[in-house]
Amino acid sequence: MALSGVSFEVQHAELFGLLGPNGSGKTTLFRILSTLMVPFGGRAVIMGYDAAREPDQLRRQIGVVFQAQSIDVKLTAEENLWHQGHLYGLHGAVLRLRIASMLARVGLSDRAHEKAETLSGGMQRRLELAKGLLHHPSVLLLDEPTTGLDPGARRDLWQYLQILRDEESVTVIVTTHLMEEAEHCDRLAILNEGKLVALGTPSDLRHEIGGDVILLDAPDPDALAERIRRRFNVDAQVFGGQVRLERENGHRFITDVVEAFPGEINAISVSKPTLEDVFIRRTGHKFWTDREKEQG
């Protein structure tokens, strides 16, 4: 996925999210930031180091947790960290102390001598975090870190990322395609088709909608949307087989709609704006997940 016009700054000790549907350019950007891909144009600078021109120096400043598992499940938790430490030139007593500290930090001290394959998915992900943090990086990069985790493990992971930010002053940059996870971030960059379509705090982005979001189920949504546009002079669109519109005091407006078109509306929902509504407003289409695409 090519990137075009993507520009943003991340503050020190900020939990920053890269949000977008699969294929939006998140992984490409992540690979550039983690020095695995050299951009054809533009620059990515972290802690003063250019990702393309100074990758070796930059790698000492960043920790990386990939979406795909990188731990060796046949090794113990301690052995996984021991080998990781060697990659960064850590040895002997210094490395032993660092391993003990990291295992304690991620709550795995009592599992240090157990093989990684015996750990739960959430524990394995915490071991991945310990690997990424072993060399004291200033910036932690995570690519879809909750993939394969159950809801409880996802919640624990995000709580831990917030602790890293608040107590260790680690800057965290995380990619996700999950709206509910993006709400945990201090700020977000929303990507679509390789472009930056929104940037700001979750709260600020939602507030740009400025009203309620109304969804209407109808036998002929296209016809109903057109009639609502003519009757009320509002921007009614059809998304996913539903008529969608934004309106202040939505609960009052739907009374007028129902009275204007009796018997033509099967169901109505009124809700406060979400990040998906921001995405729809900025792109003109839904935030499709892979599952939704498969379902048509």
Entry pTM: 0.88
Do residues 68 and 148 lie in contact, with contact meaning Cβ atoms separated by under 8 Å?
no
Do residues 81 and 99 lie in contact, with contact meaning Cβ atoms separated by under 8 Å?
yes
Beta pairing, strands 171-176 & 15-19: parallel
**Residue 5 belongs to a domain:** no
User: Over 90: is that where the pLDDT of 148 sits?
Assistant: no
Mean pLDDT on 132-158: 91
Report the phi/psi class of residue 290: left, alpha or beta, with left for phi > 0 and alpha for psi in -120 to 50.
Answer: alpha
Scanning the structure block, which residue is given the tokens 């695409």?
A: 293
Residue from 63, 27, 31, 36 nearest 47 by CA: 63
Mean pLDDT on 261-274: 95
Scanning the structure block, which residue is given the tokens 């008529």?
A: 243
**Residue 6 belongs to a domain:** no
Count how many domains the chain has. Answer: 2
> What percent of the chain has pLDDT above 70?
97
Residues 169 and 252 placed together within one structural domain of the fold: no
**Partners of residue 62 on adjacent β-strands:** 139
Residues 215 and 196 placed together within one structural domain of the fold: no
**Residue 121 belongs to a domain:** yes
Residues 167 and 81 placed together within one structural domain of the fold: yes
List the CATH number of the domain containing 55.
3.40.50.300
* Collapsed DSSP state (helix, strand, coil) of residue 121: helix
Cα atoms in the Cβ-side hemisphere of radius 13 Å centred on 44: 21
User: Over 80: is that where the pLDDT of 203 sits?
Assistant: yes
pLDDT of residue 214: 97
Give residue 160's domain range. 15-205
User: Over 80: is that where the pLDDT of 48 sits?
Assistant: yes
Report the phi/psi class of residue 194: left, alpha or beta, with left for phi > 0 and alpha for psi in -120 to 50.
Answer: left
Tally of helices (H runs) and strands (E runs) in the chain: 12, 12
pLDDT of residue 292: 46
Residues 137 and 279 placed together within one structural domain of the fold: no
Lowest mean pLDDT among 89-98, 211-220, 278-287: 278-287
**Residue where one domain finishes, among candidates 173, 205, 237:** 205
Residues 190 and 217 placed together within one structural domain of the fold: no
End-to-end CA distance of the chain: 23
pLDDT of residue 78: 98
User: Over 90: is that where the pLDDT of 210 sits?
Assistant: no
Mean pLDDT on 139-167: 91
CA distances from 200 to 27, 139, 207 (A): 20, 20, 11
Residues 200 and 268 placed together within one structural domain of the fold: no
Question: Residue 240: pLDDT band by 50, 70, 90 thresholds?
Answer: confident
Sign for the pseudo-dihedral over CA of 56, 60, 66, 71: positive
List the CATH number of the domain containing 254.
3.30.70.790
